[in-house]
Structure 1
Amino acid sequence: MSKSNGVKRRTDSSAAAAAPQSKKLKIDPTSAKKKQKQDSESSEEIEESKDDAEGSKQDVFPKEGMSSKEAHAEQKRLAQQRKAAKPNADSVYRSKKIWEKLRIKSSVSKEERGKLVEELFGIITGRVKDFVFKHDSVRVIQCALKYATAAQKKGIAQELRGSYKDLAESKYAKFLVAKIVMIGNEERDAVVEEFYGHVRRLIRHPEAGWIVDDIYRGIATKEQKARLLREWYGPDFVIMNVDGPVTADLSQILEGQPAKRGPIMTHLKEVTNQLVQKKSTGFTMLHDALLQYFINCKPGSPEHGEFLDMLKDDEEGDLFKNLAFTKDGSRLVCLALAYGNAKDRRTIIKHFKTHIKALAGDVHGCRVLLTAYEVIDDTVMTAKAIFTELLNKDMDQTGREEELLAQATHLTARIALLWPMSASPPKWLTTDAETSILAEIREIRKETSKKEPEKRRTELVEAMSQPLLDLIASQAASLAGSSFGCQFITEVLFGASGDKSSALAAVAGLVEDESVGVEAAYVGRMLKSLVQGGPFDKATNSIIPVEPGLDFDNLLYQQIVAKGQEAIVSWASGANSFTVLAMLESSTFKHGDELIAVLRAHGSEMDAGKPGARLIMEKIGQGDGDKAAKKGKEKEKKEEKKEEEKEEKKEEKKEEKKEEKKEEKKEEKKEEKKEKKKRASKSVFKGKFDGQAAEAVGGLCWLELTISPVGSEVTVHGSEVTVHGSEVTVHGSEVTVHGSKVTVHGATAAGLKDDRHGMLELSSMQDCVLVPGITV
């Protein structure tokens, strides 16, 4: 049920499928689910048979005079009676009938399924807890969750609040918890919070352990993971309320509470050792806890040595096999290899026999192989234990090439093949996390390994080069079909030892193979690098030539020129122009004069508008080339002008649309004013104030009012208005109203600053008197 909380850099389902199938190693989720289904079905049959057996003891009936058929029918009748006598028997029976229909997708239409789901929810709503703890009815709730709406799912989750810990411990209901945490963040938080304070007991529970760990690994937030892991450090961390950010980093905790180091480390060792002894070594939470313990042990101390002994005492190697496939677990294996002696390293690597390719293809497991390359001094043992399986040496040629081709073009699996090829592997090969771990390992090996790193690397390259060179020689076209394959060819030809002539000839022969797109950018980069004769060093801004030289520039030129001079011109002015430029700049190129002569003779045919072609023409110093370059620049300027004109036209269109929208808004405002006038014309006030309330016809009326200084008349559209029962005074531009409510633009006018002209809404007809019949 694991779910990823973001996008990982790389995934590897094929490697996961090939990972070791130990008792607790969760590598094949499909087979695990099938086994769980079989177990649940068989257990259900066992329980039902137990019920029948118990019932048969209680409900004794005379068998005398009955045939076996009659006796069986009577026994069946009594069993049904016992089931009917159980609580909610009718509801469970009806819901199971609905479930039997819903579980077969092909036989139920969408409309019918909707009706069945509504009927099912009519039965279970308010009684979900009565269903979830029974082996047969819990399936009904799982089915209801599958087809429920978002609101219905939340309703089920709400009913089950307070029971999640018990559900996780149930043999059948634990799968329901896995579904509930997927509903949403609120439900996930509710489930995880019920686990707080019970982690140590739950992780050791045969049913709850895997559910808790799955939630920890794939669903929980960073803070929730920290809270769950902290409970491994002792009882204090179960009840302690943390102010501010929560951390599970044991180093930070011990730094803040150095006096508690002894109890924390003792408790953590006890909890982890219990699980290791029980062979429950597949938990990611256990791997994280083991790493936290180990990195807080002082190297060379007794607790450091005892911990390594605990890891090695697992004779079957399940612990190491499980550790290698998780993030913190793989780091722990790497540290164990780095700190271990020669015997320890040999023992650890032997545990991975038959699982080497699975390690190479796993995003975490590959770090273990790279660490083995970096620290094991016995390269003969490394070649035998790792390369035999990694390079498929036990297969026939066809099978070996197929496997190696798949590994060479795989984002993760290729790392183990290419890492030894260079003392400073390219940055694109590994992630920052892997680089950081290996930098840590290289510091440790200064004290724990004896052989010089470069000598160790050279011996590894000698042991693995030939199968890789043979692969390039026979599968050059297939490798050149992808960017990963081109990178593989380049790194192997630069770093491998031995006879490279067949491989180089095969790569140069790609020019003749029409199935290969030599104009592809990644193919061009590969050819250019091989023509240059070595990798580019950014630090010195120069090429580091390979020894002995590849002589690929001459090989490639012969292949191109064999197709005619037109092919040379096409390459020089096309997508591979920088490859031709690299030939002209190469110190080992033997056909420089010939190439320059051809290019000068066909200079007019070259497209100097392209950067590579322009640099070539400058390189050969052709006068016409300068003109062509100018033409190319002029052509570029014209294209730029065209683009600018297009952009200007787009801007003009945008402005025109804006103006049109403004005009439309103006027209809309005019129409609104007309409508207001029409509505205002319908608001007629009748009568004259004489102590009685005046009558309004047509609703409230907005009056345009001009306020004059005190003592002057207040005029409304030329008519006199007298205010009774209300005192209106004017202070500069302030209007104060006493004894009556008057609003200006929807706000009370008392104390409101006015510009001596505004709209008054008469909230009470006692505010003023209008001349009869005046229309405002």
Structure 2
Amino acid sequence: MAPVVKKNNKRPLKSESKKAAPAPAAKKARISVDSSDEDELDDVASQHIDGDASSDASSDDDELDDIVSSDDEAEKDAEEQEGSDAEEEKEDGEEKPAGGNSDNHTEQRKLLKERKMQRKAGTEVQHIKSLWEKLRVKNPPLPKQLREKYSNEIWDLAKDCICDLVMKHDASRVIQTLLKYSTKERREQIVDSLKGKFYILATSAYGKYLLVKLLHYGSKKSRQTIIDELHGCLRKLMRHREGAYVVEDLYVLYATHEQRQQMIREFWGAEYAVFRDTHSGLTLEDVCATSIEKKTIIARNLLGTITASVEKGSTGFQILHAAMRELVKIANEKEISELIELLHEEFAELVHTPEGADVACTLIAKANAKERKSIIKTLKDHSEKLIKNEHGNLVFITALMCVDDTVLMFKSFGPSAKEHLQEFIVDKYGRRPWIYILLGLDGKYFAPNVKKELSRYKAMSELTSKKPDLQRRHELLNKFAPMYLSTISKYYAEILSENLGSQFISEVLLNDELYEQLSEKDTKSFEQVIDRIVIAFKGDISDEHHPIHRPFSTRLLKALIQGGKWNNKERKLEPLQKVKGLGAVFAQRFYDEIIDSSNLLEWINTSDSSFTIVALYETLEGKEEGDQFLNDLDEVKDKVDINSEENKNNKGAHLLLKLLN
């Protein structure tokens, strides 16, 4: 007769001589299933099991104690001391000696095996696990027929006790693997078998992984089934340490747009959770327009849920950002201040999602000077990631547009800009804030939807920002312009090799506003940048690596030679009024130092450089600076054969001769 094992929290094996060392606490990460690599959640689950070996019961809604029996804890302790549970899961019960303590280990195995067999469906569970070990083999891959055979056998054994299996740390992984290799019909059967258990799964340390797999491999119908069953519990789950991760994955990865709206409406309050169908399709603006009282209740409910979730450490969750966005749409001045106070130390957690960035921009626009200072203090420690982020750069631009204290902005973000500006100006998103300082919300660089959103934030800030927009931008330009010039002068070769970098240099040099902000010292830096650009084009243009063979380099040269910007709407060149050293002066210098009479014919006969000669001709024709160039051009124009093989597709040479004739 097997010895009686007491079911309590103490270690049940009396023969044990030493306690297993406590497992290190594992960091929680968002649960996700990557469909590109068919990996299971086994490693993640096992880490989480170790991390939860000493549960801290920090959540009010924690039901882990009801789910994990003391038998499981005893089993895990024995397996940890053993070092591996692979041997005890074999059907033949083969034992492996473990040094001087082999007798103790043998006795522990016997006790453990007997206890497992005495459990409900103990024999079936052991058989299921042995089949699972065969099914989960990846190298070499199992034939499809064999996988189907093992899957069918597991399902036949598991279907009557599946609700017990999904709560166990190892058996839950069996069902996860079964889901992975099952047919669509079998997956539907598993979902049907677990109806009524989804909330328990979401709050289980082990069951939550199975629930995420059900969402990942399930059909639209099964996902809707899960969402419907969890409906009404989302606010409670967001306060739960396990459930919050399930809700986040459900919202971000698996819910449709309509399902997301359904989930968010639940945060408005109990009325919108209970009477779901009645309020289907309603927007927050529609509801609040009908009653001020409803608006107050919804705002209070949203703020309560957000506060509880932030205190639980869920600030970075996208679904929480969506709830915050709902709040800031209807919040009054007091509620905005409360939200800023709640988030100011974790403000950087908002900027990586579109919803969070919208919230951050709105709060910056509506904040007072003191609140903005605390926000900037938080963001400055994350400036590099903030500026390069697809959504974060809009938050930074909003701060540039709204914060009157330009000295604070420069002190906070200037050091990072000085270190990384060469990276920012060649980055798709990172260059946007610096373009804004140069040109404002120019439609050439800001898409209509982005420009519309930023203009909305600017309108919000009219009540809290005192300086005129142009004055604020000029103050920023005055502080950052020297940094632009020094960075371009130092890294000109790397920047000119990138399309975005070449474009940025063009905007810096062809900018009267920037030139007007420069001191005498900075004006010399401006001239030095021009020197660097001229130097960059020295060399043999027959070399395929010469910069003239880059289309964006040709566009830069043409702009500097013409000394102005082309207005595409009015189809005319707008010459610069204050910048010195460009236009005819630059054209003469470029010809004398880079081309001259010895290379002129080669530049005309090369298709990549011929348009540069056209730009020189259009700029220097009839001007004193162009006398030498025009004389040299008269001498070589007869040698340009547009019918030759090399000039057959040379449109620049054809255009030049047309202009000359």
The reply to whether TM is greater than 0.5 is: yes
One-letter amino acid of the structure 2 residue matched with residue 51 of structure 1: A
Task: Report whether the alignment pairs 1:413 with 2:430.
Answer: yes
Give the Cα–Cα distance (whole angstroms) in 2 for the partners of residues 44 and 83 of structure 1.
20
Give the Cα–Cα distance (whole angstroms) in 2 for the partners of residues 598 and 98 of structure 1.
87
Task: Report whether the alignment pairs 1:528 with 2:558.
Answer: yes
Give the Cα–Cα distance (whole angstroms) in 1 for the partners of residues 549 and 323 of structure 2.
52
One-letter amino acid of the structure 1 residue matched with residue 564 of structure 2: G
Given the superposition, is the C-alpha separation of residues 426 and 99 from structure 1 closer, same or farther in structure 2, using an over 3 Å criterion?
same
Retained in 2: the 8 A contact 1:294–1:304? Answer: no
One-letter amino acid of the structure 2 residue matched with residue 145 of structure 1: L
Partner of 1:240: 275
Retained in 1: the 8 A contact 2:397–2:433? Answer: yes
Give the Cα–Cα distance (whole angstroms) in 1 for the partners of residues 650 and 403 of structure 2.
51
Give the Cα–Cα distance (whole angstroms) in 1 for the partners of residues 343 and 463 of structure 2.
26
Given the superposition, is the C-alpha separation of residues 68 and 244 from structure 1 closer, same or farther in structure 2, using an over 3 Å criterion?
closer
Of the candidates 327, 340, 347, which is equivalent to residue 311 of structure 1? 340
The DSSP-based 3-state class of the residue aligned with 1:332 is helix
How far 1:371 sits from its partner (Å)? 1.1
Of the candidates 453, 467, 470, which is equivalent to residue 454 of structure 1? 470
The DSSP-based 3-state class of the residue aligned with 1:280 is coil
Partner of 2:50: 41
C-alpha distance after superposition, 1:687-721 (max 9, x if no partner): xxxxxxxxxxxxxxxxxxxxxxxxxxxxxxxxxxx
Task: Report whether the alignment pairs 1:140 with 2:149.
Answer: no
C-alpha distance after superposition, 1:146-169 (max 9, x if no partner): 344555545444443443333222
Of the candidates 558, 568, 572, which is equivalent to residue 542 of structure 1? 572
Give the Cα–Cα distance (whole angstroms) in 2 for the partners of residues 350 and 409 of structure 1.
26
Partner of 2:656: 616
Going by fraction, where is helix more abundant, 1 or 2?
2
Of the candidates 283, 287, 299, which is equivalent to residue 253 of structure 1? 287
How far 1:336 sits from its partner (Å)? 1.7
Given the superposition, is the C-alpha separation of residues 290 and 314 from structure 1 closer, same or farther in structure 2, using an over 3 Å criterion?
closer
Task: Report whether the alignment pairs 1:437 with 2:472.
Answer: no
Given the superposition, is the C-alpha separation of residues 43 and 452 from structure 1 closer, same or farther in structure 2, using an over 3 Å criterion?
closer
One-letter amino acid of the structure 1 residue matched with residue 340 of structure 2: L
| Alignment of structure 1 residues 473-484 onto 2, 5 Å | 473-484=489-500
One-letter amino acid of the structure 1 residue matched with residue 602 of structure 2: A
Task: Report whether the alignment pairs 1:220 with 2:255.
Answer: yes
C-alpha distance after superposition, 1:673-699 (max 9, x if no partner): xxxxxxxxxxxxxxxxxxxxxxxxxxx
One-letter amino acid of the structure 1 residue matched with residue 599 of structure 2: G
Of the candidates 188, 210, 226, which is equivalent to residue 245 of structure 2? 210
Given the superposition, is the C-alpha separation of residues 488 and 40 from structure 1 closer, same or farther in structure 2, using an over 3 Å criterion?
farther
- Number of aligned residues: 564
C-alpha distance after superposition, 1:347-388 (max 9, x if no partner): 101112321111112111111111111122222211111121
Retained in 1: the 8 A contact 2:235–2:266? Answer: yes
Task: Work out the percentage of aligned pairs sharing the same amino acid.
Answer: 26
Retained in 1: the 8 A contact 2:403–2:465? Answer: yes
Task: Report whether the alignment pairs 1:92 with 2:122.
Answer: no
Given the superposition, is the C-alpha separation of residues 152 and 582 from structure 1 closer, same or farther in structure 2, using an over 3 Å criterion?
farther
Retained in 2: the 8 A contact 1:561–1:567? Answer: no
Retained in 1: the 8 A contact 2:325–2:356? Answer: yes
| Alignment of structure 1 residues 564-643 onto 2, 5 Å | 564-570=599-605, 574-586=607-619, 591-600=625-634, 601-603=636-638, 604-606=640-642, 607=647, 611-620=651-660, 622=661
Give the Cα–Cα distance (whole angstroms) in 2 for the partners of residues 504 and 104 of structure 1.
64
Across the aligned residues of Structure 1 and Structure 2, the Cα RMSD in angstroms comes to 3.5
Retained in 1: the 8 A contact 2:264–2:323? Answer: yes
Retained in 2: the 8 A contact 1:291–1:328? Answer: yes
Given the superposition, is the C-alpha separation of residues 145 and 26 from structure 1 closer, same or farther in structure 2, using an over 3 Å criterion?
closer
Task: Between 115-124 and 336-345, report the one with greater CA deviation.
Answer: 115-124
C-alpha distance after superposition, 1:549-603 (max 9, x if no partner): 34243343231237512233235xx234443333333379764344344444325
One-letter amino acid of the structure 2 residue matched with residue 436 of structure 1: K
One-letter amino acid of the structure 2 residue matched with residue 524 of structure 1: T
Retained in 2: the 8 A contact 1:494–1:535? Answer: yes
The DSSP-based 3-state class of the residue aligned with 1:411 is coil
How far 1:414 sits from its partner (Å)? 2.2
Partner of 1:197: 232
Give the Cα–Cα distance (whole angstroms) in 2 for the partners of residues 562 and 137 of structure 1.
83
Retained in 1: the 8 A contact 2:438–2:477? Answer: yes
One-letter amino acid of the structure 1 residue matched with residue 562 of structure 2: Q
Retained in 1: the 8 A contact 2:165–2:171? Answer: yes
Going by fraction, where is strand more abundant, 1 or 2?
1
Partner of 2:481: 465
Given the superposition, is the C-alpha separation of residues 405 and 266 from structure 1 closer, same or farther in structure 2, using an over 3 Å criterion?
closer
The DSSP-based 3-state class of the residue aligned with 2:333 is helix
How far 1:439 sits from its partner (Å)? 0.5
Give the Cα–Cα distance (whole angstroms) in 2 for the partners of residues 42 and 368 of structure 1.
36
Given the superposition, is the C-alpha separation of residues 334 and 98 from structure 1 closer, same or farther in structure 2, using an over 3 Å criterion?
same
Given the superposition, is the C-alpha separation of residues 341 and 258 from structure 1 closer, same or farther in structure 2, using an over 3 Å criterion?
closer
Task: Report whether the alignment pairs 1:376 with 2:409.
Answer: no
Retained in 1: the 8 A contact 2:637–2:657? Answer: no
> Which has the greater radius of gyration?
1
Structure 1 residues without counterparts, runs of 5 or longer: 1-22, 56-66, 298-302, 393-402, 623-776
The DSSP-based 3-state class of the residue aligned with 2:491 is helix
Given the superposition, is the C-alpha separation of residues 405 and 165 from structure 1 closer, same or farther in structure 2, using an over 3 Å criterion?
same
Retained in 2: the 8 A contact 1:44–1:135? Answer: no
Retained in 1: the 8 A contact 2:202–2:242? Answer: yes
The DSSP-based 3-state class of the residue aligned with 1:543 is strand
The DSSP-based 3-state class of the residue aligned with 1:484 is helix
One-letter amino acid of the structure 1 residue matched with residue 74 of structure 2: D
The DSSP-based 3-state class of the residue aligned with 1:170 is coil
Retained in 2: the 8 A contact 1:164–1:191? Answer: yes
Task: Report whether the alignment pairs 1:110 with 2:126.
Answer: no
Given the superposition, is the C-alpha separation of residues 78 and 562 from structure 1 closer, same or farther in structure 2, using an over 3 Å criterion?
farther
Give the Cα–Cα distance (whole angstroms) in 2 for the partners of residues 562 and 109 of structure 1.
71
The DSSP-based 3-state class of the residue aligned with 1:595 is helix
> Normalising by the residue count of structure 1, what TM-score does the alignment of the two structures yield?
0.65
How far 1:214 sits from its partner (Å)? 2.0
Retained in 1: the 8 A contact 2:272–2:279? Answer: no
